[in-house]
Amino acid sequence: MPTSTAYISDSCTRKIEDLPEQTIKSVALVLGDQLNASHSWFKTSTKERLYVFMEVRQETDYCRHHVQKVVGFFAAMRKFASALAEAGHRVLYLTLDSDDNQQSLTKNLEQICTHTHAQDVLLQQPDEFRLDQQLQEWSQATEVQIEWCDSEHFITQRSVLQEWFGDQDNYVMEHFYRRVREQTGYLMDGDKPQGGKWNYDQENRKTPKKGHDFPAPLTFAHDVREIHELICNAGVDTIGEIEAERFIWPLTRREAKELLTDFIEHLLPAFGDYQDAMVTGQWSLYHSRLSFALNTKMLSPKQVVEAAISAWQQNSDNISLNQVEGFVRQIIGWREFVRAIYWQFMPNYGNRNHFNHQRKLPDFYWTAETQMNCLAQSVRQSLDYAYAHHIQRLMITGNFALLAGCDPDAVDAWYLGIYIDAIEWVELPNTRGMSQYADGGILATKPYISSGSYINKMSDYCAECDYDVKQKSGEGACPFNLLYWQFINRHFEQLQGNGRMGLILKQWEKREQSDKEQIVKQAEAFLAKL
């Protein structure tokens, strides 16, 4: 069977049978999200160590991924493996269609160890619980010696919440964020925050005026047709669209650094102002789009944060403090925090369903065919680019799923599959916790729900919608308005213990009974048609 060779160096071995049987003493597994060129593993090269990369159905099939996500991971893995081989390291790269690929990480590792008679296997701690469990179980069953290593990527450790705050029912990101700031010294003036405030979020909710001239996003133009054909021929079930002759995402550390530089120079000066805005036809706005590069570890959070802070320090006339603080908070606050939540509460975190929601996720999440323009825009963008920024994810697609009472298992699977940056450690807390409040408040202090007024305030979507955002009920009323109050009515007793929901609950209580009944009836009729 012929193998796909796009981006794979001739210096890489591509068959287990071609490996020498006696000279390899250790095997080091490199996962698709461990493409960290700065890792201490790679500081010296020796032919006695074999670095192993695998494209396996185990990873393509655990959920239904966006086609750009599968292609992106495979292409980046091939580029990284080839760079290692060209630098003098010994590399085995098993493609998806390789004859001796058993489509399982551990089965392939066992086969490699048996063939080479390797004495030990080196493993970086995986960031996903399922992989951690798989490799832990294999390490206890195999006869080879296992050496566990840190991924050398994150600022904090898996166990940071336990170490800093002890056992708690819930944790507050702001407390965590300030602790990281104090520990790292980022944006600090001694023991005080720069500018006198920890958080400038109130200044970061501007919406651009009509006709605002957005900078064109930096994209790349990789020809990934051979990899795309490989995936199609293998029958991997994917979602979304791809322009395979012009793949836009960075695939190497150099390209990731180019994207970082472009963000610092052209986007950071307005990032904070418009980070929550949503504009028709603008899929990127002022966002960095570095999440794929960060989550594959082509870039480190330290590298990214220090580049932004350095640019602000050198050009404070053009980059204000609220711009850089908003960006830094996303990286060292939110990103590190959700990882800590994930490892503190797994594996039970993935089973939580606080509101006992059971509804099937509507079909338009895969087609973008809906009369609700905000959802059509956000889903269509996700299908086209495997990307949406945090407000589109939280307050459009996530908000609707929560208001509609969709099963958080289905919502998780959609988010994990559709976005190129989605790896479970970051996706699951953001979805099940922040977006769906299915964890009952472990991560978020209240359900993040809104009526159509918030969407209208932060976007231009409502102007071209078939529904009237100002219509609260009756014919043509915005479904978000109806579903918002129906959600409040449905979960009134559960929400009473949440102090942040008190004002809204009182507003609902004061409404005329006939008004309540009309809204609930109309909302239920809408849901019945989904």
Query: Residue 467, Cβ neighbours under 10 Å: how many?
Result: 20
* CATH architecture of the domain covering 160-221+251-345: Alpha Horseshoe (1.25)
Largest separation between any pair of C-alpha atoms in the chain: 82
Domain ranges across the chain: 16-149, 160-221+251-345, 364-528
Q: What are phi and psi of 294, to 5 degrees?
A: -70, -45
Secondary structure of 396-411 in HEC code, one letter for each residue: HHHHHHHHCCECHHHH
Give, for all 530 residues of the chain, the pLDDT tens digit.
446 789 999 999 999 999 998 889 999 999 999 999 999 999 998 999 999 999 999 999 999 999 999 999 999 999 999 999 999 999 999 999 999 999 999 999 999 999 999 999 999 999 999 999 999 999 999 999 999 999 999 999 999 999 999 999 889 999 999 999 999 999 999 999 999 999 998 888 889 998 999 999 999 999 999 999 999 999 999 999 999 999 999 999 999 999 999 999 999 999 999 999 999 999 999 999 999 999 999 999 999 999 999 999 999 999 999 999 999 999 999 999 999 999 999 999 999 999 999 999 999 999 999 999 999 999 999 999 999 999 999 999 999 999 999 999 999 999 999 999 999 999 999 999 999 999 999 999 999 999 999 999 999 999 999 999 999 999 999 999 999 999 999 999 999 989 999 999 999 999 999 999 999 999 999 999 98
Alpha helices in 329-418 (DSSP H): 336-345, 364-367, 373-385, 390-391, 399-403, 408-418
Distance, CA of 426 to CA of 23 (rounded, Å): 39
Q: What is the pLDDT of residue 4?
A: 78
CB contact set of 517 (below 8 Å; sequence gap of 6+): none
- For the chain, the C-alpha Rg in angstroms (whole number) is 24
- Give the β-pairing of 49-54 and 26-29: parallel
End-to-end CA distance of the chain, in Å? Answer: 46
CB contact set of 71 (below 8 Å; sequence gap of 6+): 224, 227, 228, 231, 242, 244, 247
- Cis amide prior to 215 (ω within 30 degrees): no
> Of how many residues is the chain composed?
530
Please say whether the structural domain 364-528 has been given the CATH code 1.10.579.10. yes
Distance, CA of 458 to CA of 513 (rounded, Å): 31
Single pTM value for the model:
0.96
Taking the CA atoms of residue 404, residue 410, residue 412 and residue 413 in that order, the dihedral angle to the nearest 10 degrees is -140
- SS3 assignment, position 511: coil
- SS3 assignment, position 15: coil
Give 16-149's CATH code, choosing from 3.40.640.10, 3.40.50.970, 3.40.50.620, 3.40.228.10.
3.40.50.620
Distance, CA of 242 to CA of 231 (rounded, Å): 12
